[in-house]
């Protein structure tokens, strides 16, 4: 068997052995599904073919026909978020790297012909990079670790889209509930303004009291206008999070947030759970594993950077006699590191590894703090909101009822009634905002536990100042 056939058979064996372990696209996406479903209860899907697009569109249309729930909002976002689908493409790119890492470098065929005065020499060579062959196991292991990291990053992106959508849904529903509450109050103020106007016409109410009553109704109209603008902005942000456009933007949103849960989740050893479940930490670990393998490879090959195996056949034809003499040829080309003994490459790899290891440790420390902070916010906002429901709101209803009775009995003037009504409006709006902030804190606790941190959180440091916020504000 000549050298061409030997090298050809060797290459075929390598390729068939390497490709036998390659996974399909669905297999590569399976860890993303498992991680996402276990973390937040939602299963993502890749939308790439025409059939996938048609099915996604049908599911979206079915969901938007009904009043949007927090679950249906997340499902729509996972189907239609194009940035999320782009993160899934990174898995395919990483798969391609696994395939490349499982194969040797392509062989090189060289053909050379030299004509002399008496003979014609023909040289055919097939060169195979031995270095790329012997390092297949290490290169494949590195590529697989990088694929696993890409899978965890895709899972993190999926979780982030889900949690961001949940958060924006809560903000949008809360903005609608504020409008609903203000409209209920407006019915009372409009009735009071109408009575004041008629009493002013008959002389039963002086101009000052009449102006105060009408001013309150006008101010409330202004607050409702601001609340409507706020709702429109929050709604548009939700539509953007859902990835909808055109006719699909006509979504139906409920008027009120869900009721406050009576019991809190009991989370034991939340730090360890977060370290175990955080997908961003898992991705960083796989990156570090790939780098560790790469460092080992660099140390092993620091003195021999490239080896080429050359095989071929030389034909030497005598031009006078017409006879051809053939010679087999095999050789090895080795790069000699005269100027660089691999010190720079080894030092670079070691420092990159230590940098990644330190960043991973720093991330783990910060995750522990993040989950403790999120749990404090979750418990604290539940207590604050429950205090509104059980203490503040009942007292405010009593004050408003008594103020109305005293006003009806002419024991207080209209200015006192207006002042109490304004105070009551502010308290009701703060109660709605507090309930919204509790659900957002719950969402952020989940993000701290599994990764994919949701943006646009609550500044709990200014919570005390928010008690004096404008009725229609945040």
Domains of the chain: total = 1
Q: What is the Cα–Cα distance from 146 to 143, expressed in whole angstroms?
A: 5
Q: What is the pLDDT of residues 120-178, one digit of tens each?
A: 666 666 677 777 777 788 888 888 888 888 898 898 899 999 999 999 999 999 999 99
What is the mean predicted confidence (pLDDT) over 303-324? 53
Are 159 and 447 in contact by the 8 Å Cβ rule? The answer is yes
Q: In this predicted structure, what is the pLDDT of residue 324?
A: 59
Mean pLDDT of 299-306: 51
Burial class (CB in 10 A: 0-12, 13-18, 19+), 474: middle
Which pLDDT value is given to residue 331?
A: 56
Structural domain includes residue 474:
no
Residue range of the domain that includes 197 = 3-468
- Average of per-residue pLDDT across 232-261: 91
For residues 381 and 310, give the distance between their C-alpha atoms in angstroms, rounded to a whole number: 72
- pLDDT for residue 232 is more than 90: yes
Contact 279, 159 (CB under 8 A): yes
Do 241 and 168 contact (CB within 8 A), yes or no?
yes
- If we measure between CA atoms, which residue out of 30, 73, 408, 464 comes closest to residue 242? 73
Would 171 be classed as within a structural domain?
yes
Confidence of residue 228 (pLDDT cuts 50, 70, 90): very high
d(CA 181, CA 171): 15
Higher local confidence (pLDDT), 24 or 92: 92
More confident residue, 46 or 115: 46
Instruction: Look at residue 356 and tell me whether its pLDDT is greater than 90.
Output: no
What count of Cα atoms within 13 Å lies in the side-chain half-sphere of residue 56?
Answer: 22
Within a domain: residue 338? yes
**Per-range mean pLDDT, top range of 1-15, 116-130, 214-228, 365-379:** 365-379
Per-residue pLDDT reduced to its tens digit, 43-102: 898 888 889 889 999 999 999 999 999 999 999 999 999 989 999 999 989 888 888 888
Round to whole Å and give the CA distance between 376 and 370.
Answer: 10
What pLDDT is attached to residue 6? 47
Q: Could you identify the residue written with the tokens 């982030």? A: 160
Measured over the CA atoms of residue 465, residue 467, residue 471 and residue 474, the dihedral's sign is: positive
pLDDT for the residue numbered 332: 55
List, as own/partner pairs, every contact residues 400-408 make where C-beta atoms lie below 8 angstroms and the sequence separation is at least 24, other chains included. 400/424
- Tell me the mean pLDDT in the region 229-255: 92
| Strand partners for 122 | 113, 315
Average pLDDT over residues 23-51: 83
User: Has residue 273 been placed in a domain?
Assistant: yes
pLDDT digits (tens, 9 = 90+) for 273-290: 888 888 888 888 888 888
| Helix (H/G/I), strand (E/B), else coil: 308 | strand
Burial environment of residue 441 by CB neighbours within 10 A (0 to 12, 13 to 18, 19 or more): buried
Q: Residue 441: which CATH number? A: 1.20.1600.10
Distance (Å, whole) CA 399 – CA 405: 10
**Domain membership flag for residue 473:** no
Average pLDDT on 100-114 reads 76
Tell me 255's DSSP state.
S
**Residue 114 belongs to a domain:** yes
Which tokens in the block code for residue 42? 């939602």
The predicted pLDDT at position 26 comes to 65
DSSP symbol at 327: E
In a domain, 414, yes or no: yes
Q: Does the structure show a pLDDT above 60 at 12?
A: no
Classify residue 227 as exposed, middle or buried by CB count within 10 Å of its CB (0-12, 13-18, 19+). Answer: buried
pLDDT above 70 covers a percentage of the chain that reads 69
- Is 28 within the bounds of a domain? yes
Q: Mean per-residue pLDDT for 375-391?
A: 90
Alpha helices in 388-413 (DSSP H): 393-408
Give the pLDDT band of residue 315 (cuts 50, 70, 90): low
**pLDDT tens, 176-212?**
999 988 887 777 666 666 666 666 666 666 677 667 7
pLDDT at 226 over 60: yes
């Amino acid at each position: 068997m000549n050298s061409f056939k030997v090298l050809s058979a060797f290459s075929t064996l390598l390729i068939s052995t390497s490709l036998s372990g390659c996974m399909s696209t669905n297999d590569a996406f399976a860890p993303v599904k498992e991680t996402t479903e276990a973390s937040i209860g939602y299963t993502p899907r890749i939308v790439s073919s025409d059939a996938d697009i048609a099915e996604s569109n049908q599911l979206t249309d079915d969901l938007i026909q009904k009043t949007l729930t927090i679950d249906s909002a997340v499902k729509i976002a996972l189907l239609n978020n194009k940035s999320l689908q782009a993160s899934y493409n990174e898995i395919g790119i990483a798969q391609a790297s696994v395939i490349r890492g499982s194969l040797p470098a392509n062989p090189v065929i060289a053909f050379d012909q030299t004509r002399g005065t008496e003979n014609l020499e023909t040289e055919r060579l097939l060169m195979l990079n031995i270095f790329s062959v012997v390092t297949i196991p290490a290169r494949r292991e590195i590529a697989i670790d990088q694929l696993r990291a890409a899978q965890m990053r895709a899972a993190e992106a999926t979780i982030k889209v889900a949690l961001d959508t949940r958060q924006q849904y809560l903000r949008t529903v809360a903005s609608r509930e504020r409008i609903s509450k203000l409209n209920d109050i407006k019915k009372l103020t409009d009735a009071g303004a109408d009575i004041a106007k008629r009493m002013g016409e008959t002389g039963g109410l002086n101009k000052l009291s009449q102006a105060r009553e009408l001013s309150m109704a006008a101010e409330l109209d202004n607050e409702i206008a601001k609340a409507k603008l706020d709702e429109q902005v929050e709604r548009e942000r939700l539509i953007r999070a859902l990835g909808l456009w055109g006719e699909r933007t006509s979504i139906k949103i409920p008027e009120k947030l869900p009721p406050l849960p009576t019991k809190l989740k009991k989370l034991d050893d939340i730090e360890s759970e977060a370290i175990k479940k955080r997908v961003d930490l898992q991705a960083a670990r796989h990156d570090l594993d790939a780098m560790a393998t790469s460092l080992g490879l660099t140390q092993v090959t620091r003195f021999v950077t490239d080896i080429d195996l050359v095989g071929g056949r030389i034909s030497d034809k005598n031009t006078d006699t017409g006879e051809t003499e053939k010679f087999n040829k095999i050789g090895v080309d080795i790069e000699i590191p005269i100027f660089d003994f691999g010190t720079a490459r080894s030092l670079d790899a070691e420092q990159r590894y230590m940098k990644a290891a330190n960043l991973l440790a720093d991330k783990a420390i910060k995750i522990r703090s993040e989950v403790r902070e999120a749990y404090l916010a979750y418990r604290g906002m539940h207590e604050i909101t429950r205090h509104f429901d059980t203490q503040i709101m009942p007292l405010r209803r009593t004050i408003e009822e008594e103020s109305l009775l005293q006003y009806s009995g002419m024991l207080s003037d209209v200015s006192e009634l207006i002042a109490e009504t304004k105070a009551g409006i502010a308290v009701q709006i703060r109660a709605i905002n507090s309930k919204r902030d509790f659900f957002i804190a719950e969402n952020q606790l989940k993000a701290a536990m599994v990764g994919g941190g949701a943006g646009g959180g609550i500044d709990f440091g200014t919570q005390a100042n928010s008690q004096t916020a404008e009725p229609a504000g945040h």
